[in-house]
Amino acid sequence: MFETFEHKADIGVRGKGNTLESAFEECAKAMISVMLDIDSIEPRKSHVIKLKSSDESNLLISFLNELLFLKDTKKMIYSKFRVKIEESAFENNLKEFTLKATCFGEKIDLKKHDFLVDVKAATYSQLRVVQEDKIFVAQCIVDV
């Protein structure tokens, strides 16, 4: 499930799921829902995002920011996501996380997509990627 949470000047986005991947998918939906009604986006086209990072939280921020980059440059907006995350370990305790996300959505059509507000970026503020009991949580504040 996804939800938004309070912040005085901006807004928080949170995704929860049984896996880390589903928490990421839900968090992305939460961010899209800040901008517009997510149900108004039809999953007509797909696009694959591949990203790498040294930790899961930076990976979440990069993933969300990549969706914003695609919105501004390709004018594409997505509503469904299939995320895969792989962890590889190296010497000296170094880790690398790889994300592959297949995103489903369509080109922005202002007649159909009624934007409430634009999201500028995902931030480190209240950034958490954790497992609580059996549930994975991925959240941060987004700048609007």
Partner 1 sequence: MKIKKIKKDIYSLEKEERMNISPKIFANQEIINTLKRDELKNQNNSLNQLKNLSSLPGLKGVVALADIHPGYGAPIGSATASDLREGVITFASTGFDINCGIHSLVLPITAKELNKKKKEFAESLFKDIPAGVGVGGKLRIDSTQMDELLKGGAEYVVKRGYGKKKDLNFLEEKGRIKKIDVTSVSLKAKERARDQIGTLGSGNHYCEIQEIEKIYDLKSAKKFGLIQGGTFVSIHCGSRAIGHQIGSDYLPILDSAVKKYGININNRDLVCAPFNSEEGQKYFSAIKAGTNAAFANRQVIGVLVKRSFEKVFGLSESEVKTFYDVGHNTAKIETHKFEGKKRKVLVQRKGSTRGFGPNNLAIPKNYRVVGQPVIVGGSMGTNSFILRGTKEAMNETFGSTIHGAGRSMSRSEAISKINGEDLLKKLFEKGIVIKAHSTKGLAEEAPLAYKNIIDVVNTMDLTNISKKVAKLKPIICIKG
| Residues contributing to the site for partner 1 (CB under 8 A) | 4, 6-11, 35, 53, 58, 61-62, 65, 68-69, 71-73, 75, 108, 110, 113-118, 120-127, 141, 143-144
The C-alpha atoms of residue 90 and residue 83 are separated, in whole angstroms, by: 23
Q: Under DSSP, is residue 130 helix (H, G, I), strand (E, B) or coil?
A: strand
- Residue 1 Cβ vs partner 1, minimum distance, rounded to whole Å: 17
* Shortest CB 9 distance to partner 1, Å: 5
* Planar angle of CA 11, 15, 19, nearest 5 degrees: 160
Helix axes 20-35, 56-73, angle to 10 degrees: 40
Provide the minimum distance between the beta carbon of 132 and partner 1 in the complex, in angstroms, as a whole number: 17
* Cβ-based nearer residue to partner 1, 87 or 109: 109
